[in-house]
Amino acid sequence: MGLPPALGKVYLVGAGFGGPEHLTLKALRALEEGEVVLHDRLVHPGVLALARGQLVPVGKEGYGARTEQEAIHRLMVQLAREGRTVVRLKGGDPMVFGRGGEEALFLKEAGIPYEVVPGVTSAVGALSSLGLPLTHRGLAHSFAVATGHDPSLPLPQADTLVLLMPLHALGGLKGRLLERFSPETPLALLARVGWEGEEVRLGRVEDLPGLGEGLPSPALLVVGEVVSLYGRLLP
């Protein structure tokens, strides 16, 4: 009988936001090395085009088609035990609402070698690319990032608040935001930053939920006085 194949390795890779210009060099090297790329739905096609291995979609779409997380866990382990180099590719950063921590723990418990490759999360990068600072002297000295898909969750305390995946919960989020901010506090809804169809909608807390009507995903909501700087900081 032949010996079993040596264990492969899994890279948990953040693709950043938008197109391939926001990839890190380490992420690019992983894409070039990976034999199988298990990718989320919200990874830009330009990033996927850089992969040299087999592309396998394992994305989740809110309120739609999805690959169960447990199935992704099992597939990563199976491929690594076959001796394959696997890239688990996620938008943004794998450790920011990307379930990268769960996947890392599963791989560790299964005895599979793995490495985390950070990415530029949209909560920071998308705002910066549009000239929207998270902090600014005299306006904001703190920021917080939270999930926006569940309005029952408490919102963190910070001068600038960024909510990811908020579109289906804007009505409920309005009440939560009014517990923290005045109705006149400026906000911005950002959609598909770095993609075709990029859209920015400006308003105030009192304008929710109507301001988000018809907005495509991926989207995020930023609330705070720094939004008043939009359009003033870009050259």
Q: Each residue of 55-87: pLDDT tens digit?
A: 999 976 544 456 799 999 999 999 999 999 999
Residues pairing with 36 in the sheet: 54, 86
Select which of 9, 159, 165, 174 is catalytic: 165
The pLDDT tens digits of the residues spanning 159-208 come to 999 999 999 999 999 999 999 999 999 999 999 999 999 999 999 999 99
Instruction: Confirm whether 60 is a catalytic residue.
Output: yes
Q: How far apart are CA 140 and CA 223, in angstroms?
A: 11
What's the pLDDT at 5? 75
Give the global pTM: 0.91
Q: CA torsion angle for 59, 61, 64, 69 (degrees, to 10)?
A: 50
Q: What does the mean pLDDT of the chain come to?
A: 94
Q: Catalytic residue, from 9, 40, 159, 174: name it.
A: 40
Q: How far is 171 from 86, CA to CA, in rounded Å?
A: 40
Residue 165 a catalytic site member = yes
User: Quick check: is 95 catalytic?
Assistant: no
